[in-house]
Amino acid sequence: MRIAFVTDPLDSLDPATDTSIGLMHAAQQRGAEVWATEAHLLEAVGHRPRARARRLRLAEHGPEPAAARPWYRAGEPQNVRLDEMAAVFMRTEPPVDGTYLAAAFVLDLVDPDRTALVNDPRGLRLCSEHLFPLRFPDLTPPTTVTADPAAVRAFLRSHGTAVLKPVDGYAGRGVLRLDEHDPNLASLLELGTRNGTRAVVAQAFLPEVADGNKRIFLVDGEPVAAVHRYPADGDFRIGPPGAEAALTARDRQICARIGPELRRLGLRTAGLDVIGRHLIEVNVTSPGALRKADTLLGWSLCADLLDTVLRTPCPKEPPTCPSPSPAPPSSARCSSSSA
């Protein structure tokens, strides 16, 4: 059995926390060959998808020691057929640029009935992590998407304080907190919108962020675990997982609305970011924090995800969203809270 991972450059990955490396370890532990490539190395030859990839052999030690020494050995690059893999994990960080889209179109040539695609390239193209939640206005905070600094100023006049983030941003990069009375506001808007040429997401600032952000992990549209993540001292942005989180009734409502649509799009793994009662983001390009949660809480999310996608085909769902259901998730990790 061979499993391919499309990732960012291997030496840029953090071996102590990176979810892609956790999935690679799980694959190797199950006797699979682990192959690694990058988006720009995917190609279509003879109407078949292939990649210039290297076979990896991962060090058999825990994540913390791995951070201080080489965590893998790589063979020579070879041309490998992606449609002969048991699974292909597309796990490169945003932005979803031309290189990313070209790789996704190559992956369209993989038969999902023979090779598990995580996530399906069609779904990746259709699901903007920051904009997908806007399809569910009752779940999200007040939001404006615009490249016009004047429109952001108008939004601030209505809400006082807002968070501004690039449409294609990730991991808190480029995220700003804006106040309508900030003397630096004009400069911040120039930087954020690149002088009115780049769309940004402006959302009402949620004071509940002081109590943390909840990352809910979904597999095949069902919640399997959740963790709290807290802002670092002196920074309003969210940090790594800090503690296990119980799912509230509101969290379950959000999952019941989002899950069927994720299944319909073939998005087998996702991370929902929730602050208070509001859905903020739907992470699908390279959902992270799984390995960090495994290390922190003694879970096995990476191994469980790998086993699930290898054992079962992607569930198919109609394109309609069901009414919210109070039924608990299947996983015992998602304990309940009445909040």
Q: What is the pLDDT of residues 248-295, one digit of tens each?
A: 999 999 999 999 999 999 999 999 999 999 999 999 999 888 988 888
228-242, 292-306, 308-322 — most confident range = 292-306
| Mean per-residue pLDDT, 163-179 | 84
Residue 219 has pLDDT above 90, yes or no: yes
Is 338 inside a domain boundary? no
Is 152 inside a domain boundary? yes
Unique residue bearing structure tokens 């259709």: 126
Which CATH number is 301's domain given? 3.30.470.20
The per-residue pLDDT for 204 is: 96
Same structural domain, 212 and 193: no
Element (H, E) at 91: strand 87-91
Print the domain residue range for 63: 2-118
Is 237 inside a domain boundary? yes
Sign of CA dihedral 37, 290, 94, 318: positive
Structure-token pair, residue 315: 């569930």
Is 319 inside a domain boundary? no
Give 96-115 pLDDT, tens digit per residue.
999 999 999 999 999 999 99
Residue 318 has pLDDT above 50, yes or no: no
Side-chain half-sphere CA neighbours of 173 within 13 A: 8
The per-residue pLDDT for 334 is: 61
The per-residue pLDDT for 292 is: 84
Same structural domain, 160 and 250: no
| Mean per-residue pLDDT, 123-134 | 95
| Mean per-residue pLDDT, 39-49 | 97
The per-residue pLDDT for 327 is: 36
Same structural domain, 60 and 85: yes
Same structural domain, 102 and 60: yes
- Number of structural domains in the chain: 3
Local confidence band at 172 (pLDDT 50, 70, 90 cut-offs): low
Check if the beta carbon of residue 310 is closer than 8 Å to that of residue 116.
yes
Looking at the chain, the whole-number percentage of residues with pLDDT higher than 90 is 72
Q: How far apart are CA 56 and CA 76, in angstroms?
A: 10
| Mean per-residue pLDDT, 32-41 | 98
Q: How far apart are CA 270 and CA 216, in angstroms?
A: 8
The per-residue pLDDT for 331 is: 42
How many other C-beta atoms are found inside a 10 Å radius of the C-beta of residue 312? 11
Its pTM stands at 0.87
Is 336 inside a domain boundary? no
The per-residue pLDDT for 320 is: 40
Give 142-168 pLDDT, tens digit per residue.
999 999 999 999 999 999 999 999 988
Residue 323 has pLDDT above 60, yes or no: no
Residue 167: name the closest of 95, 215, 98 by CA.
Answer: 95
Same structural domain, 7 and 114: yes
| Mean per-residue pLDDT, 193-219 | 93
Of 205, 234, 259, the last residue of a domain is 205
Average pLDDT over the chain reads 88
The per-residue pLDDT for 116 is: 96
How many other C-beta atoms are found inside a 10 Å radius of the C-beta of residue 149? 18
Residue 333 has pLDDT above 90, yes or no: no
Greater model confidence, 243 or 6: 6
